Structure 1
């Protein structure tokens, strides 16, 4: 339930309008917009268009960190529903990104037991490789069906920020929610091996 609530919170924060400058004041470039003052003979006001940046994909980081560390905390159904809802609300092609994330999370879920003994940098590299692969598949699929996409540079910025923030998401997940790797031979309350 915690995973679902965190996923909904991340989706909600992405939907909050953070740029409140009306689009009539300028385009998406960083060129200054010069507006003359009402009185003649005075200097002009220079306004700048808001900076265009893209946030890292915290939703995929949350899902992959929890699946890699504690697979039972993030069930496949919850991941599928959260990402399908995100596809609908973010106006992406419905199900494409959700399906790719679900496939990657299930691959990592299958490897979770063998990844327990790996050093953290190998876990990070494995997750980063998976994110790069599904991003490339996503862009290739959208280009094959001629769907408009974000510029490649913006996608690369988001990809790098997402990969860079993985350790922070793992740390916050551990510190606040107790999502850590089970020790070899650790059992749950019913005696089942984790």
Structure 2
């Protein structure tokens, strides 16, 4: 028996991968187009003596449908260093943790402030996915907490942080948007 020519083997591998991809797409459950909502929170003020702020976000979704739903939530942070100084002795950092209320604190993600004292830093985001047993007919509700912590010494200065939440929710097992599909974000 002669060995398979390399060119034929190359095309056989490509065909196998193509069939596997088609099989994956064919068995994937459809999702509706996402419905999105935004919420602008009040500016947070962090200082050397009040380093941490925690916010509780509630995302609610409802529709005239008995489909299950899931989605994601992200928070965009825009920090400003309010200072009368023109030079910093060190560069502060902000640590962000997102979690569900029943989960313990994690290490989070640390962002280095990238502007001089008195300046506005670059915006950064943190997000989480959510889903589970949630039927739109019963109004889905997801609770998410985020903590933002000032790391480093800024003396008597203040770090203000503007934050905006965006949530996107999609109905599962359909490629149509259910009637009266709505998403709302609030704080308790």
TM-score by length of 1: 0.22
Q: Which has the higher strand share?
A: 2
Higher helix share: 1
Higher Cα Rg: structure 1 or 2?
A: 2
Q: Which protein has greater RCO, CA pairs closer than 8 Å, 6+ apart?
A: 2
TM-score between the two structures when normalised by the length of structure 2: 0.22
